[in-house]
Amino acid sequence: MIKKFFGTDGIRGRVGDAPITAEFMLKLGWASGKVFSKEGRGLILIGKDTRVSGYMFESALEAGLASAGVDVALLGPMPTPAIAYLTRTFNASAGIVISASHNAYHDNGVKFFSGAGAKLDDDVELAIENELESDMQMVASDQIGKVSRINDAAGRYIEFCKSCFPSQSNLRGIKIALDCAHGATYHIAPNVLRELGASVIERGTEPDGFNINAEGGSTKPELLQKLVLAEGADLGIALDGDGDRVIMVDSEGEVVDGDELLFIIANAEHRSKRLSGGVVGTQMSNFGLEEALGEKNIPFVRAAVGDRYVLAELDKRNWVFGGESSGHLLCLNVTTTGDGIISALQVLAAMLEFDSSLGELKAGMKKYPQHMVNVACQKKIDLGSQGAVTEAVAQTEKKLGGRGRVLLRRSGTEPVVRVMVEGEDAAIVASLTEELARVVSGELG
């Protein structure tokens, strides 16, 4: 069945436009409460990022869940992966995240975690959508759910993050520039790094409800690059608004993206003979990652774009490492979902284990120039049926001469079509991408 509301990463959109309204969130809380309470009263956790609309949607979801007879525990502003972790540790029936990840403040959405701290299966999402079609009926007054607040949620998660770093190591003597994008990690990441001994220069840790992802974070690392150079930091760490993505910057001010970070983590495990299996990337993963892993005889496969597809491929093969160029990395040997802080700690642990800088560790992978343009697209359309687009793609591939890739895909989180070209020459790649994007834009009107 085709889902009406759930996309590749929950339900997301512009605040005030259906379905991202208080009325819908009330009924979504009720519908999800009905589904998760079928095996008993249950407990559902609710966390959020720092968007101003989070207060409104938190209250609406809380009311809907309570009206379905489910107990609720509020976490306040917390990273998405923290909610996955706390859902497990509190033996909750589910966890709900109010966030639009790396999007601007005027967007928001809802993501769910199962009691095991994993993304919901399709059948559970479909069950929730089926309940949304029903009339909302409140339980009897003596069965209404109770609501409480977990006041030590941040401290619990900080300790968990620290436990994912080698106990015999510390970060003393390492200077880290940190950008939290005024998002959900603003009160978590600085404390994790400082408590492990690092000297931290922070930015993006003063959320006001409107500045989340506005300037900086993992999608805009330019300010972090400048901060690393200005402060003479050993490296920089940039997180996105909900804390499930990470991009790093080396001491020379060069960006180290998700593909390179995934290579560093997997290669460290390989060098230490701890790696079991291979690595899962996506259609967007740089060919340089595949090539570098191949030189180490580390298997590599590509999944569709989206962490749920990467996770499905990892589960299928019983592997533990995978991720996306955006910095959404999965380290299933330590946690169940993408976690920017924990991924960064795995890279820092590799630096200490091999007494190498971030720049030295990434040098083992040569990135192929890759250029991407987002073309606005408000409607769903089959690009393969557009003759001009098909011809333009064929011409682009011909010009690459078999030494590159072309990829067109509709984003699962934004109303855009991503046009990507990869090849050996950066200037040619950029030019071909712009040409192809103009054709796609013309066809989309």
Cβ neighbours of 407 (radius 10 Å) = 16
Q: Give the Cα separation of 445 and 439 in Å (integer).
A: 10
Positive or negative: CA dihedral 373, 374, 379, 384? positive
436 plus 392 within the same structural domain: yes
The overall longest dimension of the chain from CA atoms, in Å, is 71
Q: What is the pLDDT of residue 306?
A: 85
The pLDDT value recorded for residue 168 is: 93
Verify that 235 and 270 share a domain, yes or no.
yes
- Residue 179 and residue 313 in one domain: yes
| 232 and 323 in a common domain | yes
145 and 195 part of one domain? no
Whether residues 321 and 232 share a domain: the answer is: yes
Instruction: Tell me what pLDDT residue 401 has.
Output: 86
Domain extent, residue 410, equals 370-444
Strands lying side by side in the sheet with 107-114 = 11-14, 107-114, 94-98, 43-48, 71-77, 147-149
Q: What is the mean pLDDT of each run of 10 residues along the chain (445 residues)?
A: 87 96 98 89 94 98 97 98 97 97 96 94 95 96 96 98 96 98 98 98 98 95 98 98 97 98 98 96 93 96 91 96 96 96 98 98 94 85 76 92 86 83 93 94 81
Residue 140: predicted pLDDT: 96
- Answer whether 128's CB lies under 8 Å from 57's CB: no
Beta strands in 377-422 (DSSP E): 405-410, 416-422
Q: What secondary structure does DSSP assign to 350-373, as a single string? A: HHHHTT--HHHHHTT--PPPEEEE
Q: Residues 67, 101, 218, 326: which is the catalytic one?
A: 101
Same domain, 325 and 233: yes
Residue 406 placed within a domain: yes
Task: Assign residue 421 the CATH number of its domain.
Answer: 3.30.310.50
> Pairing between strand 416-422 and 300-303?
unpaired
Residues contacting residue 420 through CB under 8 Å, at least 6 positions apart? 284, 370, 371, 372, 405, 406, 407, 408, 409, 433
DSSP state of 57: H
> Domain tally for the chain?
3
In terms of pTM, does the model score above 0.85?
yes
Q: Is the peptide bond before 369 cis (omega within 30 degrees of 0)?
A: no
Residue 306: both structure tokens together: 């989206």
Q: Is 53 tagged catalytic? A: no
355 and 411 fall within a common domain: no
178 and 133 in a single domain? The answer is: no
Q: Do 374 and 338 share a domain, yes or no?
A: no
For residue 409, the model assigns a pLDDT of 85
The answer as to whether 179 is a domain residue is yes
Note whether 128 and 70 are same-domain residues: yes
